[in-house]
A = this chain, B = another copy of it.
Amino acid sequence: MDGTVLLTGAGGRVGEAVLQGLSEEYYWRLLFHNPPDEQPDHEYLIGDVDDMDDVREAMAGVDAVIHLAGDPRPDAPWESVIQHNIHGTHNMYEAAAEEDVGRFVFASSNHAVGSYETPDRTPDMYRPEDDFLLDGTELPRPGNHYGISKATGEIIGRYYHDEHDMAVCNIRIGNLTRDHPPIDYERGQAMWLSYPDCAHIHRCALEADYGFEIVYGISDNDRKYYSIERAKEALDYDPQDNSAEWNGDDHVADTDREWA
């Protein structure tokens, strides 16, 4: 796509992965919550998504949004997530609708469905021989207040898609780590998302033709309980990494990889 992409939460880890992979691919406008340590290579603003004035300023003239901002802590208290994640996301959608933005990519989370990991299913479901699979059509089952806020963000997106004909893609991001999968953590390996695959799925969400989607953002791990079929089908997602292929000596997440 052409035009300006507004990226919120630009100082966070997902933002780092996206910019690392797609820095040259788009004209970026970055929204930081706190002033960045280093001068960014792109146009940027500092502001709060829960402040509608900041949001409107950031949204002016934008063609697409990748909305990552919010309290990222899985154990964040309700008072924080209702303000920053729920109200902030609503502000973003409302301003996007005012500005007739055609495409909105929302960083949802595995935590929106965390309570499917019941004691009788775990740890078996984290292993390749188990066939339990979530595919994005299931009802949310958050395991914490953060997860409630992400599931609510998906519903807000559904409303703005239906009412404003905005293309909306919710990416339930797995366990994003730089360079290599989580060590000695089966659950994290099953939902690993490499930095390159993270950038790639966001590019797919900016380029593909869709209406409203909920997809899982994980690498093509041997171990997985989130299906990536919908992301492949709707977004043409083609992940290159796999937590099972990392042998401890080198990085499967090849930083020289082509991004197209």
Contacts and interface: CB of A to CB of B under 8 A. Distances in A.
Given A78-B94, A90-B82, A137-B139, A159 B155 contact: no
Given A82-B87, A90-B78, A90-B82, A142 B159 contact: yes
- Residue from A94, A140, A144 with most neighbouring chain B CB atoms (10 Å): A140
Interface stretch (A10-18, A145-153, A219-227): A145-153
Number of copies: 2
A56 to B, nearest CB: 15
Contacts of A86: 82, 86, 152
Contacts of A137: 139
A127 interface: no
Contacts of A145: 159
B155 A148 contact: yes
Interface of A: 78, 82, 86-87, 90, 94, 115, 137, 139-145, 147-148, 151-152, 155-156, 158-159, 162-163, 214
Given A140-B158, A148-B156, A151-B155, 8 more contacts: A78-B90, A82-B82, A139-B139, A140-B155, A141-B159, A142-B155, A143-B163, A147-B159
